[in-house]
Amino acid sequence: MTRLFNFSAGPAMLPAAVIESAQQEMLDWHGSGMSTMEMSHRGKEYMSIAGKAEQDLRDVMDIPNNYKVLFVQGGASMQFAAIPLNLLGDKTSADYINTGMWSKKAIAEAKRFCTVNIAADTSEGGFTSAPSQGELKLNPDAAFVHYTPNETIGGVEFDYIPETGDVPLIADMSSTILSRPVDVSKFGMIYAGAQKNIGPAGLCIVIIREDLLGKAAAQTPTLLNYETHATNGSMYNTPPTYSWYMAGLVFAWIKEQGGLKAMGEINGRKAAKLYAAIDNSGFYANPVAKHHRSWMNVPFTLADADLDAAFLKGASEQGLITLKGHRSVGGMRASIYNAMPEEGVDALVAFMQSFEKNQA
Ligand SMILES: *Cc1c(COP(=O)(O)O)cnc(C)c1O
């Protein structure tokens, strides 16, 4: 059996220890005589799994008590519609910061429901930086401010949390959640699709301040209303039980690693090594402003795009897979989420150096 270093942007690697735990309890979870997939979501075994997962996430992220944690379906993309439906209240407009492909999708969906004020837009620079606080044109009468702290495709990450006064700040943290400590109290709502840094696809986590619940538009579908999930412990209907269980194993694993502080130290080191390898070469390049470079998604190009195929082939022979960049950006992209071991980044750096040398 060989586990490769998989640099996929998502679904992405899971910690090997987590998959092994799941394997061990696959046929018979803790003497219940069932796999977790076969359990009633309302039975006491599954309720204990679900409850522990939520508590571990609360511990790991230090989530204040006045926030609800919801385990929902439909991915992060479903929230693009749910957010305006739930949060506009009696307002008619919302502020959106446009820093890349995922912001654009959130904006396009929001336009179906409200007036969108673009508070900042970095498209002119080819989405290679985040706007500064001073550049944000915020409307004090907006229902909320939405942004994407880490743009998964462009590899652009905010190095600060926007200050929005009394207007709730909403963050699509799909590709950066759990990568380092974050002050949840600065946000009205945080959401993240699971398949990058949480667990298997099929689950989306919503962390929402309680005072934002209960003002969904009248036509909001029951299942898109956060209130529905908040008042039913995310069990109004059958939740994605297996993904929720696996996410719980990941949260417990993060605790064992020393929590988000430890994850942040490892992730900072991994990213620094990879960017240093890019910057110290005359062959690889990353276009993102240095202090806005993502810790999780590192796009880079080769000096000659005709060598891309040879690079990918050589990398995969070393067990380094899924490095092809997003079709909109080209080149390569290495996604190095929590589950990518530091040795994986070391192996990638070593391969990049030898590939460059072979071109000389
Ligand atoms: C992957 C991703 C999404 C989409 O997630 P789905 O779960 O596929 O809907 C949205 N936003 C960001 C920032 C992402 O990285």
Domains in the chain, number: 2
Q: With pLDDT > 90 as the criterion, what percentage of the chain qualifies?
A: 98
Residues with Cβ within 8 Å of 250's Cβ and at least 6 positions away in sequence, in order, are: 14, 15, 18, 198, 199
Q: What is the pLDDT of residues 60-82, one digit of tens each?
A: 999 999 999 999 999 999 999 99
The verdict on 252 and 301 lying in the same domain is: no
360 exposed, middle or buried (CB, 10 Å; 0-12, 13-18, 19+)? exposed
Residues with Cβ within 8 Å of 44's Cβ and at least 6 positions away in sequence, in order, are: none
What is residue 163's DSSP assignment? P
11 with 339: CB under 8 angstroms? no
Q: What is the pLDDT of residues 41-50, one digit of tens each?
A: 999 999 999 9
The verdict on 120 and 227 lying in the same domain is: yes
- From 256, 275, 290, give the residue that closes a domain: 256
What is the CA(190)–ligand 1 centre distance, in A? 13
Q: What is the pLDDT of residues 111-133, one digit of tens each?
A: 999 999 999 999 999 999 999 99
Confidence of residue 328 (pLDDT cuts 50, 70, 90): confident
- 302: which strand partners? 284
How far apart CA 324 and CA 212 sit, in angstroms, is 40
The verdict on 251 and 262 lying in the same domain is: no
Res 207: pLDDT: 99
140 with 108: CB under 8 angstroms? no
The verdict on 234 and 342 lying in the same domain is: no
Q: With pLDDT > 70 as the criterion, what percentage of the chain qualifies?
A: 100
Pocket probe for ligand 1: among 127, 152, 179, 224, the residue whose CB has the most ligand atoms within 8 Å is 152
The two beta strands, 320-321 and 5-6, are: parallel
Confidence of residue 360 (pLDDT cuts 50, 70, 90): confident
- 299: which strand partners? 333
The verdict on 251 and 294 lying in the same domain is: no
Q: How far is CA 64 from each of CA 209, 237, 270, 283, rounded to the nearest angstrom?
A: 9, 26, 30, 46
Cβ of 172 below 6 Å from ligand 1 = yes
Atom of ligand 1 nearest to the CA of 173: 13
Cβ of 76 below 6 Å from ligand 1 = yes
Whether the pLDDT of residue 237 is over 90: the answer is: yes
The verdict on 250 and 271 lying in the same domain is: no
Flag whether 10 is in a domain: no
How far apart CA 283 and CA 309 sit, in angstroms, is 15
Flag whether 47 is in a domain: yes
Cβ of 148 below 6 Å from ligand 1 = yes
CATH of the domain at 318: 3.90.1150.10
- From 256, 273, 306, give the residue that closes a domain: 256
Flag whether 2 is in a domain: no
Cβ of 152 below 6 Å from ligand 1 = yes
Res 113: pLDDT: 97
The verdict on 247 and 336 lying in the same domain is: no
Tracing tokens 């209960």 back to the chain, one arrives at 214
Atom of ligand 1 nearest to the CA of 150: 13
Whether the pLDDT of residue 278 is over 80: the answer is: yes
The verdict on 218 and 298 lying in the same domain is: no
The verdict on 153 and 301 lying in the same domain is: no
Flag whether 6 is in a domain: no
- From 213, 236, 256, give the residue that closes a domain: 256
Q: Report, in angstroms and rounded to the nearest whole number, the Rg of the chain calculated over CA atoms.
A: 21
157 with 293: CB under 8 angstroms? yes
Flag whether 1 is in a domain: no
Residues with Cβ within 8 Å of 159's Cβ and at least 6 positions away in sequence, in order, are: 130, 291, 292
Cβ of 86 below 6 Å from ligand 1 = no
The verdict on 238 and 310 lying in the same domain is: no
Pocket probe for ligand 1: among 83, 99, 102, 170, the residue whose CB has the most ligand atoms within 8 Å is 102
Tracing tokens 């298997």 back to the chain, one arrives at 200
Confidence of residue 244 (pLDDT cuts 50, 70, 90): very high
Average pLDDT over residues 324-350: 96
SS3 185: helix
Whether the pLDDT of residue 1 is over 90: the answer is: no
Flag whether 11 is in a domain: no
What is the CA(77)–ligand 1 centre distance, in A? 6
Cβ of 193 below 6 Å from ligand 1 = yes
Average pLDDT over residues 193-201: 98
CATH of the domain at 53: 3.40.640.10
Confidence of residue 327 (pLDDT cuts 50, 70, 90): confident
Atom of ligand 1 nearest to the CA of 148: 13
157 with 294: CB under 8 angstroms? yes
Average pLDDT over residues 252-259: 98
The closest residue, in CA terms, to atom 14 on ligand 1 is 174
Average pLDDT, the chain: 97
Q: How far is CA 208 from each of CA 93, 211, 220, rounded to the nearest angstrom?
A: 20, 9, 17
Whether the pLDDT of residue 329 is over 90: the answer is: no
144 with 169: CB under 8 angstroms? yes
The verdict on 185 and 206 lying in the same domain is: yes
Neighbouring C-alpha atoms within 13 Å toward the C-beta of 342: 11
Structural domain span for residue 264: 258-359
Whether the pLDDT of residue 265 is over 80: the answer is: yes
The closest residue, in CA terms, to atom 10 on ligand 1 is 76
Q: In what order do the strands lie in the sheet with 115-121?
A: 67-72, 204-209, 189-193, 169-172, 145-147, 93-98, 115-121
Residues with Cβ within 8 Å of 290's Cβ and at least 6 positions away in sequence, in order, are: none
Q: In the numeric block, which tokens belong to residue 4?
A: 């490769």
Long-range contacts of 120-127 (CB under 8 A, 24+ apart): 121/97, 122/98, 122/156, 123/98, 126/287, 127/99, 127/100, 127/101, 127/151, 127/154, 127/156
Whether the pLDDT of residue 345 is over 90: the answer is: yes
The verdict on 249 and 291 lying in the same domain is: no
Average pLDDT over residues 234-254: 98
